[in-house]
Amino acid sequence: MKEGFSKDFTIAAALEEVDRVAQEIARVITEACDRDKAFRAAVCLTEACSNIIKHGYKSDSSKKLTIRVKASLDSVELTIEDSSEYFDPLDADSPDLSNAHNLQDGGMGILIIKKTARTISYERREGKNTLKLTF
């Protein structure tokens, strides 16, 4: 896939749908660039969408998520859009990693995304959260 790949997915806010799309995106990214970027993108996609479903949509599978992927030989861009309440993951506090008992309090998914993606941006516009990740 020399010229790259671009595709939009609109899915129900259900973990099964996230898993299905993450697998498809990982396959396409592997073909377009490499397995490392595919793995990192799939992990971040799963973490971000899981947080949106659990915390933003309160596990309401009637809600929708839009996922856009653009992959080329040297870069991958994932955009995740939802209509839950405002939440900027860049403002979230990192978990306290000094005590293993605190890890169950949350925040690990956002930390994984922050440490795994090359760049992260967030925007709230017209009632929608947009998270853009590059790898």
Instruction: List Cβ neighbours of 48 (8 Å cut-off, separation of 6 or more).
Output: 80, 89, 109, 113, 131, 133
Q: Are 55 and 112 in contact (CB under 8 A)?
A: no
User: Per CATH, which fold does 5-134 belong to?
Assistant: Heat Shock Protein 90 (3.30.565)
C-alpha 2 chain-centroid distance: 24
**84, 90 Cβ separation under 8 angstroms:** no
More confident residue, 120 or 99: 120
Do 32 and 5 form a contact (C-beta atoms < 8 A)? yes
73-116: pLDDT as tens digits: 889 999 999 999 999 999 987 777 777 666 655 678 899 999 99
Instruction: Say what the pLDDT of residue 1 is.
Output: 44
Burial of 132 (0-12, 13-18, 19+ CB in 10 A): middle
pTM of the shown model: 0.90
Sheet holding 119-125, edge to edge: 5-12, 64-71, 76-82, 128-134, 119-125
pLDDT value, residue 106: 65
Is 17 or 31 the better-scoring residue by pLDDT? Answer: 17
Break the chain into its structural domains and give their ranges: 5-134
CA distance 77 to 47: 16
Q: Residue 38 corresponds to which tokens in the numbers above?
A: 């595919």
**CB neighbour list of residue 112: distance below 8 Å, 6 or more residues apart:** 43, 44, 47
31, 25, 37, 74 alpha-carbon torsion, rounded to 10°: 60
Q: How confident is the model at residue 52 (pLDDT cuts 50, 70, 90)?
A: very high
